[in-house]
Structure 1
Amino acid sequence: MSLKPDRRSFLVGGGLTALASARAFGASDTLRVGIIGAGGRMNQLMASADVAGGYEIVAVSDVYGPHAEAVKARSKGVATTHVDYREVLDNKGIDAVIIAAPDHWHVKIATDAIAAGKDVYLEKPVTHTLEEGAPLIHAVRSSKQILQCGMQQRSWSHFRNAVDLIQGGSLGHITQVRTYWWQNYGRSWVPKPLDMSQLNWKRWLGSAPQQEFTLEKYFRWRWFWNFGGGAMTDLFTHWIDVVHWAMKEDVPSTALMLGDKYVYEGWDCPDTIQAAFRYPGFDVVYEGMMSSSIDDGGLEFRGTTGTLKLSRSGFSLYREAVKSDVNPVLSEKSFEDGTNAHMANFFECIKTRKDPHAPVETGVAAARAGHIGNMAYKNGGKTTWPAKS
């Protein structure tokens, strides 16, 4: 089992590299929030923040003007609009920021926000490369700031109950976890027209190599190595985080990955994947493709006495040696998007200063597994971790 850094040891031993928010919160205080990256996912995050309540949007940054203006309208004209996210961080009246920029911006914006004394909700994957993990953890743990990783399953009630069942021994000895996620980009991800006069493409690229704008890169950036990591860091990251959580192991020793671009040949990342990861005492497999959405996504924990099938819709627990008309012996349905509870947990932790449900180490570990899978893909199908020189 990997050892998680202790928060107090960082604070005492490492010194403080960031200024914590000086404001003391009462139970009824309104949180002042900045929005950074106001695209599609941010709309969902703001909807969850609305459910949580007790906050107001003070400022928004996006490199595409209409996105920022839409958030300003949502705030009833209160929010100031900015192209440069650093102007949001300069606002000393802001308590926290929600970040949903493309992956290659995540660590840069998050560490700048921490240095500015802001608490952070950071969408997954929290890192774009393996090398970014340690600096992000150090930035958080050498500060007094709260960082909630966007791994919302950790706050989703039926996922929490499923993990309790697994850790309580309900499945016996678990030796295999199957994960999968199928989506159909041809059916549901059609790029929309863009007003190029209101897009700052150079700033959108940031640290990425200079290149010509295309709608495909702008809307489907997750599938280009300069900006994302494909299914391994977009989809698999969610599921492997649940595996890490339930199995109390978060470092694979070996990864195998077979992938190809059978449909979306213009992408960098494969659209069809079979992958396998070896952890101490158990294996994890992943399969998915981006041109078929039947069955959606989920996980199956398979043990010697039972199997638990888990998705965002709920879970079912099946017993070995039980008649089929009795199985599943236990089921639970989801009643609400877990992002609502996850954002509420973030808001609560801003006030209590307790660690959130998805602290920085969990996000780094989940992203790391995806990066290791991609490393195997680029290495002819297999790699070990730590990588052998």
Structure 2
Amino acid sequence: MPAPAQTTRRHFLQQCSAVGTALGFPTFIPGTALGKNGAVAPSNRTTLALIGCGGRGTDVVKNFLHDERVQVMAVCDVEKESDRYNKGIIKKAGTLGREPARRLVDKSYGTQSCAVHEDFREVLSRKDVDAVQIATPDHWHALMAVAAARAGKHIYCEKPLSLTVAQGRFMSDVVRQSKVVWQTGSQQRSDIHFRMACEYVRNGKIGKLKQIRVGLASDNRDNNGCAAQTAPTPVPEGLNYDFWLGPAPDAPFCPARLHSNWRWFFDYSGGNITDFGAHHFDIVQWALGKDESGPVEFFDLKATWPAPGSLYSTAPNFSFAYRYEDGTTVCVADKQDFGSGILFEGEEGSVLSMRGKLEIKPDALRKPLAENDVRLYESKDHFRNFIDGIQNGAKTAAPIEYAHRSITIAHLANIALRLNRAKLSWDPAKEQVLDDAEAAAMLTRPMRGPWQLV
């Protein structure tokens, strides 16, 4: 793997000084930025840029800001600055967008050196950036990830990986060919509760599997407090809305469309089936040893849809099942008696795994793994694991091919639900829908010009 193009100490200091001079104030550089007091010298740091400065993007970048081996060099977003809402009330003023992200980075380092961009292509052209964190809406992931990989940038990309099955396949192929380090934001792969659940299943600790149940939350929740603001309004100052839409179909701006509520638009995402489904289906794949494969059939498909005239287009309520070739069945619903999580039911007991909780029944099964039992890859910190991959060549916890296979499950379920199918058959080896031309056509979607994935 080629060595990352690290920024030099001199170049870093020159940047800090130049920015300070341009803004008309003296530049104070802390000792930690110079590699003193045990800190990592700039010449040995991985330089990173954030693309997508919404709530998730800024939350995740804090982990990289706290990693002494990383220097966040730049932030990028099509929105300059906006507020974060909760139930229609401003929760935090001026917290979303590229300017708040810049302030966050500069405050963390005690400098004024973070660069700001509106266009992600400017970030990818920077020679002083080794890696990017992509945290945009789903409909942008493929274009940005492919461009980043071809530019030789290592990539941490939020889930859901892709908007379509075809995009995911293309992304995985390009990343493999480009030989860059990839980490999907499926952080449950670095959670001890989920890893232990998968190890219990892999080692037959609950006996032969009878069924797996997955609980997801329902769709169309008002995440930004603006769901009622559906009337077209002028685009706010500081937002490049046409660039935000990018490859998605043209649509008039309204506040209900952005800031997390975009998840309920099929043009930009796939609802909670792709959102939290990306997490939980990924764990099911891990537990079954199917990281590079998938199920063969979807059935028991049920969904309710938004009322006519609603802007949102993903199913508020849903349930479905899918089956692997060996007969293992997974039942998914937005309402499970255990909430959001994964319940593995075996002939001798069960394992319930959810964030912050691992429940094994009966208690007699709660025993440490034996010396010869299967142990799965262990990552204790999803974000540091990514940097380990860049600096030390370590395997990452969530490779892109695994993410592609997991999100394919969500995409196929959405296709079958939207077409009101009683059943959908899938060949995971060839990645083809069987005997259903209409469903097969939905494995891809057109992109609005001039954006194309080639």
Q: Is residue 271 of structure 2 the alignment partner of residue 230 of structure 1?
A: yes
Contact 2:386–2:396 at 8 Å: present in 1 too?
A: yes
Which structure 2 residues correspond to residues 288-299 of structure 1 after superposition, within 5 A?
288=334, 296-299=339-342
- SS for the counterpart of 2:345 is strand
Query: For each residue in 1:191-227, what CA deviation from the matched residue of structure 2 results, as whole angstroms up to 9, or x when unmatched?
Result: 3999801110000000111110122221311111111
Question: Residue 259 of structure 1: which of 278, 303, 327 is its match?
Answer: 303
**Which amino acid in 1 is paired with 2:297?**
T
Give the TM-score normalised by the residue count of structure 1: 0.84
Residue 350 of structure 1: CA displacement?
Answer: 0.9
Q: Is residue 333 of structure 2 the alignment partner of residue 287 of structure 1?
A: yes
- Structure 2 Cα separation of the partners of residues 170 and 294 of structure 1: 23
Residue 375 of structure 1: CA displacement?
Answer: 1.1
Query: For each residue in 1:283-311, what CA deviation from the matched residue of structure 2 results, as whole angstroms up to 9, or x when unmatched?
Result: 1111116xxx9954111001111100110
Other-structure match for 2:284 = 243
Q: Is residue 306 of structure 2 the alignment partner of residue 306 of structure 1?
A: no
Other-structure match for 1:60 = 75
- Structure 2 Cα separation of the partners of residues 238 and 88 of structure 1: 28
Residue 140 of structure 1: CA displacement?
Answer: 1.0
Question: Residue 215 of structure 1: which of 255, 259, 267 is its match?
Answer: 255
**Which amino acid in 2 is paired with 1:244?**
Q
Residue 314 of structure 1: CA displacement?
Answer: 1.5
Query: For each residue in 1:118-164, what CA deviation from the matched residue of structure 2 results, as whole angstroms up to 9, or x when unmatched?
Result: 10001111111111122111111112200111111111122222222
- SS for the counterpart of 1:161 is helix
Query: For each residue in 1:294-350, what CA deviation from the matched residue of structure 2 results, as whole angstroms up to 9, or x when unmatched?
Result: 95411100111110011002201113xxxxxx578479xxxxxx9981111001111
Question: Residue 319 of structure 2: which of 274, 298, 305 is its match?
Answer: 274
- SS for the counterpart of 2:50 is strand
Other-structure match for 2:132 = 97
Q: Is residue 138 of structure 2 the alignment partner of residue 138 of structure 1?
A: no
Residue 30 of structure 1: CA displacement?
Answer: 2.0
Residue 175 of structure 1: CA displacement?
Answer: 2.7
Which structure 2 residues correspond to residues 15-34 of structure 1 after superposition, within 5 A?
21-23=4-6, 28=40, 29-34=44-49
Which structure 2 residues correspond to residues 1-389 of structure 1 after superposition, within 5 A?
21-23=4-6, 28=40, 29-66=44-81, 67-76=97-106, 77-182=112-217, 186=221, 189-191=224-226, 196-219=236-259, 220-249=261-290, 250-256=293-299, 257-261=301-305, 265-280=310-325, 281-288=327-334, 296-319=339-362, 329=366, 341-381=381-421, 382-385=423-426, 386-389=432-435
The alignment covers a number of residue pairs equal to 357
Query: For each residue in 1:58-85, what CA deviation from the matched residue of structure 2 results, as whole angstroms up to 9, or x when unmatched?
Result: 1111010011011111121321111100
> Structure 1 residues 170, 24: CA separation in 2 closer, same or farther (over 3 Å shift)?
farther
Other-structure match for 1:6 = none
Residue 189 of structure 1: CA displacement?
Answer: 4.3
- SS for the counterpart of 1:235 is helix
Aligned CA RMSD, in angstroms, stands at: 2.9
Residue 54 of structure 1: CA displacement?
Answer: 2.5
Q: Percent identity?
A: 29
- Structure 2 Cα separation of the partners of residues 64 and 273 of structure 1: 33
> Structure 1 residues 353, 191: CA separation in 2 closer, same or farther (over 3 Å shift)?
farther
- SS for the counterpart of 1:33 is strand
- SS for the counterpart of 2:270 is coil
- Structure 1 residue runs of 5 or longer lacking an equivalent are 1-10, 12-18, 320-325, 332-337
- SS for the counterpart of 2:178 is coil
Residue 235 of structure 1: CA displacement?
Answer: 1.3
**Which amino acid in 2 is paired with 1:45?**
V
- Structure 2 Cα separation of the partners of residues 61 and 358 of structure 1: 24
Kindly indicate whether structure 1 or structure 2 has the higher relative contact order, using CA contacts under 8 Å at least 6 residues apart.
1
- Structure 2 residue runs of 5 or longer lacking an equivalent are 9-34, 82-96, 107-111, 369-377, 427-431, 436-454
> Structure 1 residues 263, 288: CA separation in 2 closer, same or farther (over 3 Å shift)?
farther
- Structure 2 Cα separation of the partners of residues 339 and 211 of structure 1: 42
- SS for the counterpart of 2:267 is coil
Contact 2:163–2:269 at 8 Å: present in 1 too?
A: yes
- Structure 1 Cα separation of the partners of residues 267 and 173 of structure 2: 24
> Structure 1 residues 226, 214: CA separation in 2 closer, same or farther (over 3 Å shift)?
same
**Which amino acid in 1 is paired with 2:279?**
H
Contact 2:206–2:365 at 8 Å: present in 1 too?
A: no
Contact 1:183–1:296 at 8 Å: present in 2 too?
A: no
Query: For each residue in 1:81-108, what CA deviation from the matched residue of structure 2 results, as whole angstroms up to 9, or x when unmatched?
Result: 1110010111111110000011010011
- Structure 2 Cα separation of the partners of residues 277 and 175 of structure 1: 14
- Structure 2 Cα separation of the partners of residues 53 and 275 of structure 1: 45
Residue 361 of structure 1: CA displacement?
Answer: 0.7
**Which amino acid in 2 is paired with 1:260?**
T
| Worse-matched range after superposition: 87-96 or 251-260 | 251-260
